[in-house]
Amino acid sequence: MDWPDKLCFAALLIAAAVIHGTSGDTTVTGTVFCDQCKDGQISLFDYPLYGIKVTMACPGSNGQLAAWREETTNWVGGYAMRFDGTPDLRGCYAQVSGGQGSSGCGAAAGPPKSLRLMFNMFDMEMYVVDPLISQPAQPMSFCPGSTSPVPAPVNPALPPPATSFPQPPPVARSTPLPPIPFVEASACPYQKWIMAEYRCHWKVVTPDTKVAVAFGLIAAQRYGTDLTLWRGLQGKGEAYRTLLREGTAALLNSYNSIQFAYHPLAVIEHMNWALTGSSEQVLGTALKFTRANSGNAHLSCTLSPCKS
């Protein structure tokens, strides 16, 4: 499965978690990523953005695009827009329209993306939008060729965002940049992640995050909606508990180091693939996660105790 297919798979998982329990006839879903390198594409350096506004615009009777709906992304970067009935939205577009996101990655918006009809049955429609991007004012120092970033193209057809973002002051070349911890190669077993002195290294998710939120609807069907990642890390004695324990550790490692064997989306993909398969797939995936969490004899755990 190539990178675009993985993104679409992850978007569908996020969409399932977002729309579960709703009764809307038409749903539009997608994901927004922070384009840290400002290269106009999604790479391993990029991550889902929380708190970004997305606007959907559709052509009116005069042929001009008009804003229909605006939503804000959730903590996994996903958004969902719901409409009564089954309107034809195939001529509509979605674009980042505001918000600084969870880490200030909102200085520039990427190009709009058209809606794609995924299915239409039983008076229900689902449209998906290819991943949107939002960019920081400057590319990160660890990006390849960060001295000459490629700005994301802007489509003037959509209404301009209502909010303008002030440019932060440029970083002086003589000022040394702080180290980037998540660039450092690291892989830690689950025993490390349940230790209190390393809790500050939990990124994107927290010990109280529900397993259903972190891994989606398929995981919710297996583990329920109340189980937390902290409890999942302590599972033993049964194949599905072992899978959850090692999968949670792998997710934490993937958020902590970009050199970990799995990207966060790949962890979620493998987790759900195992949960929909045989017991052999469950055990096999748990073993693969265990090996990755141990560093595959190549990486060590670089977590340092948190400052009190």
> Mind listing the pLDDT tens digit for each residue in 185-217?
889 999 999 999 999 889 888 999 999 888 888
- Residue 142 tokens read as 């660890």
Look at residues 237, 124, 90, 109 and name the one whose alpha carbon lies nearest to residue 163: 109
Q: Which residues contact 108 (CB under 8 A, 6 or more apart)?
A: 38, 134, 135, 136, 137, 151, 152, 165
Q: Which residues contact 117 (CB under 8 A, 6 or more apart)?
A: 89, 90, 125, 126, 127
pLDDT class of 82 with cuts at 50, 70, 90: confident
Angle between helices 279-293 and 264-275 (to 10 degrees): 150
DSSP 49: -
Q: In Å, what is the CA distance from 76 to each residue of 15, 31, 204?
A: 10, 8, 8
Flag whether pLDDT at 91 surpasses 70. Answer: yes
Annotate 84-105 with b (16+ C-beta within 10 A) or e (fewer): eeeeebeebbbbbbbbbbbeeb
The pLDDT, as a whole number, for residue 258 is: 80
Flag whether pLDDT at 242 surpasses 60. Answer: yes
pLDDT class of 156 with cuts at 50, 70, 90: very low
The mean per-residue pLDDT over the stretch 65-74 comes to 82
Flag whether pLDDT at 174 surpasses 60. Answer: no
Residue given tokens 């790479």 in the structure block: 43
pLDDT class of 172 with cuts at 50, 70, 90: very low
Residue given tokens 């990427």 in the structure block: 110
Stretch among 147-161, 194-208, 221-235, 247-261 having the lowest mean pLDDT: 147-161
Residue 212 · residue 272 · CB < 8 Å: no
| Phi, psi angles (nearest 5°) of residue 96 | -65, 130
HEC string of 76-117 equals CCEEEEEECCCCCCCCCEEEEEECCCCCCCCCEECCCEEEEE
Q: How far is the C-alpha of 294 from the C-alpha of 291, rounded, in Å?
A: 5
Amino acid at 245: R
Amino acid at 241: R
The mean per-residue pLDDT over the stretch 82-96 comes to 86
Flag whether pLDDT at 259 surpasses 70. Answer: yes
